[in-house]
Chain A
Amino acid sequence: MNNIIVYCEIEDKAIADVSLELLTKGRKLADELKCELEAVLIGSDIKGMEKEVFQYGVDTLFTAEENRLYPYLTLPHANILSKLFEEEKPQIALFGATSIGRDLAPRIASALKCGLTADCTSLEIGAHRDKKQKKDYKDLLFQIRPAFGGNIIATIINPETRPQMATVREGVMKKEIYAPNYKGKVKKLDVPKYIKEEDFVVKILERHIEKKKIDIKNSHIIVSGGYGVGSKEHFELLFELADVLGAEVGGSRAAVDAGFIPHERQVGQTGVTVRPHLYIACGISGAVQHRAGMEESAMIISINKDPNAPINNIADYAIIGDVGEVIPKMIKYYKKNAK
């Protein structure tokens, strides 16, 4: 009762990264609220996945197993979860902001008449005072998300309804094992009690799902490198930074021509045009062709040894220094300061 519950998405017989990120965050929130962390797995063959889930500090794992429950269908998954939430009364329910999570969560929120915030980039616990009603709330989930085309950041709360539901973007939270031998318990749901035959009215006729592929265009943060990065090995640093920030790695034409990164990551006139919230240009001088592909980024940080590099003219922050020294510092201080 009154725990935190995370819906774990299954794709290709594995739990989606975003779900593991949510379990990591969920565990932290549960520790802060002094409650338990719960997870739900719904699918056709989930044996062996329990162990992976428990490592993230899950106390109770609910499983619903039936042949027709994979691939994902809206109605059966929504009805299982709505009923489970009514029984377990979680205070917080988290979903990935994925094609599945954003199809599923609103259906449940509507059935339970509770508040749902889409596409959060940050979750915190905090207190709130309703000035009109003179009512104080503590331990609310602050659901933080960009809105209005990314031009404002809104903090949303659901003071009265439970669970407080949110979908969270992939890659914005860290994925971290809590304890390799963490012991939780499995509760198998009696599936026929949760679903009806009519829940299977939608039929999947055909399905082609590709492996995760590079998608710099839709990435909110891009770490991009130029010829000035110096080598393929040095580019590994960019990948490390991208990994901790939940970003994608891009590059200039010069970096592609030098063989540092593949063409599919090229930003600029002959590559893709991007408009992320943050563009970190490493060792990129800022040729017009490159700038054409990224100058609409909401914020630009350049890292360059040359104080006169043209990129600095359009950068919001120009760090004058060596990529090899600056990036490890960024990673270090991100890890130190990120919640």
Chain B
Amino acid sequence: MKGFKIIVLAKQVPDTRNVGKDAMKANGTVNRAALPAVFNPEDLKALEQALRIKDENPGSTVTLLTMGPGRAAEIIREGLYRGADDGILITDRKFAGSDTLATSYAISLAIKKLSPYDIILSGRQAIDGDTAQVGPQAAEKIGIPQVTYCEEVVSISKHRVQIKRRLERGVETVECPLPALVTVHGSAPDCRSRNARLLMKFKHAKTVTELQEATDDYLDLYDTRPYLDIKEWTVDDLNADEEWLGLSGSPTKVKKVTNVVFTAKESKVLGDRDEEIEDLIKELLENHTIG
């Protein structure tokens, strides 16, 4: 048994989970710059499922694939510290403004380039957009089946995988032929922590761009330790049709963005008169607090 070739799709996201009232600007809007960039939580759970397959099937490899600006290489290093074998950063200014459709196009090209592989795992959705669309859209573009909301990879063999799915009102176990794309639900187990030995091994892992900017003396390391190279792929590496990328490849446009304004600590005191109640309801409808 030579193991499985596993690809994990991951995204670096601003940590929107714990925007307390103190992460607010004076005007009540979120201070996005103040939010730390993190490994999308459900993608970490996908990585854990991948690492479990690798644990049980010697010879398996886990490749992390992410798309984003240069700094997104941080999450590849984070994945390497936890047990991934290598990582690829898809990065190019031409991807800017991509919606889920354009993103899934770029990701699908990268996955095809990594062919042959056995299984692709990703988080169900990213916490900045919560769309849950890129996984299924990439699966469609590649032409492979998808299994969403995986809570556990029950078993995997050369040609099939059994997945326990967490649905909103129950569970389902399905069997799917490989290769397939599986998205992992938040109810799946957390990812293992960093491994000290791997941390030492990979702490100087860098992309070419990072190397060029680096001022340290580790450059010669990369000739003797090729595993420290985090690959960077651009539009040219993917042979992508630029029309389907970025803004031109994105059918959805953001018309308007309204910051949800959190009122100051001081509460507004109302009486029970009809006008007061009606004004409050109107206000809640206007800012979409109620639908």
Interface residue ranges, A against B (CB under 8 Å): 11, 71, 74-75, 78, 98-99, 102-103, 105-107, 109-111, 113-119, 121-122, 128, 142, 144, 146-161, 172-173, 201-213, 221, 245-246, 277-278, 296, 298-299, 301, 307, 312-322, 325-326, 329-330, 333-334, 336-338
9 A-B pairs within 8 Å (CB atoms) are namely: A11-B169, A74-B145, A103-B149, A116-B133, A116-B252, A151-B29, A152-B30, A156-B254, A278-B289
A14 to B139, CA, bound (A): 30
Q: Does B267 contact A (CB under 8 A)?
A: yes
Counted as pairs of residues, one from A and one from B, with CB atoms less than 8 Å apart, the total is 244
A159 to B250, CA, bound (A): 11
Q: Does B226 contact A (CB under 8 A)?
A: no
Min CB–CB distance A329 → chain B (angstroms): 4
Min CB–CB distance A138 → chain B (angstroms): 14
A312's partner among B127, B128, B131, B267 (CB-CB below 8 A) is B267
A160 to B243, CA, bound (A): 14
Chain B interface main SS type: mixed
Min CB–CB distance A81 → chain B (angstroms): 12
A159 to B135, CA, bound (A): 24
Stretch in B4-12, B201-209, B232-240, B275-283 with 4+ CB within 8 Å of A: B275-283
A208's partner among B14, B131, B170, B274 (CB-CB below 8 A) is B170
Which partner residue on chain B sits nearest A329 by CB separation? B277
A107 to B30, CA, bound (A): 33
Q: Check A338–B285 contact: CB distance below 8 A.
A: yes
Q: Size of chain B's interface in residues, with CB distance under 8 A?
A: 77
Q: Check B30–A326 contact: CB distance below 8 A.
A: no
Chain A interface main SS type: mixed
Interface residue ranges, B against A (CB under 8 Å): 14, 16-17, 19-20, 29-30, 32, 99-101, 104, 127-141, 145-149, 162, 167-177, 250-260, 262-263, 267-272, 274, 276-278, 280-282, 284-285, 287-291
Q: Check A110–B140 contact: CB distance below 8 A.
A: yes
Which partner residue on chain A sits nearest B132 by CB separation? A102
A122's partner among B16, B140, B288 (CB-CB below 8 A) is B288
When distances are taken between beta carbons in the complex, the residues of chain A under 8 Å from B291 are: 121-122, 172-173, 245-246, 338
B267's partner among A144, A277, A278, A313 (CB-CB below 8 A) is A313
A201 to B179, CA, bound (A): 12
Which partner residue on chain A sits nearest B24 by CB separation? A151
When distances are taken between beta carbons in the complex, the residues of chain B under 8 Å from A152 are: 30, 257-260
A245's partner among B148, B258, B282, B290 (CB-CB below 8 A) is B290
Min CB–CB distance A274 → chain B (angstroms): 15
Query: 6 shortest A-B CB distances, which residue pairs?
Result: A321-B272, A149-B16, A115-B251, A209-B170, A172-B291, A115-B252
B281's partner among A161, A172, A203, A330 (CB-CB below 8 A) is A330
Min CB–CB distance A304 → chain B (angstroms): 11
When distances are taken between beta carbons in the complex, the residues of chain A under 8 Å from B176 are: 201-203
Min CB–CB distance B278 → chain A (angstroms): 4
Min CB–CB distance B263 → chain A (angstroms): 5
Which partner residue on chain A sits nearest B283 by CB separation? A317
Known: A205-B174, A210-B170. A148 touches B287 (CB 8 A): no
Which partner residue on chain A sits nearest B282 by CB separation? A337
Q: Check B175–A115 contact: CB distance below 8 A.
A: no
Min CB–CB distance A285 → chain B (angstroms): 15
Q: Check A208–B270 contact: CB distance below 8 A.
A: no
Min CB–CB distance A118 → chain B (angstroms): 4
Which partner residue on chain A sits nearest B244 by CB separation? A113
A205 to B149, CA, bound (A): 16
B290's partner among A160, A205, A221, A307 (CB-CB below 8 A) is A221
Known: A157-B253, A172-B291. A317 touches B172 (CB 8 A): no
Q: Check B267–A107 contact: CB distance below 8 A.
A: no
When distances are taken between beta carbons in the complex, the residues of chain A under 8 Å from B250 are: 115
Known: A118-B133, A142-B255, A203-B174. A326 touches B267 (CB 8 A): no
17 more contacts with CB within 8 A, not counting A78-B140, A154-B258, A299-B289, are A106-B135, A106-B140, A107-B146, A115-B101, A119-B130, A147-B130, A153-B288, A156-B252, A202-B145, A202-B174, A212-B169, A318-B269, A319-B272, A319-B276, A319-B280, A320-B269, A329-B272
When distances are taken between beta carbons in the complex, the residues of chain B under 8 Å from A144 are: 288
Q: Check B132–A106 contact: CB distance below 8 A.
A: yes
Q: Check A213–B174 contact: CB distance below 8 A.
A: no
Most buried by A among B20, B282, B290: B290
A119 to B291, CA, bound (A): 13
When distances are taken between beta carbons in the complex, the residues of chain B under 8 Å from A277 are: 289
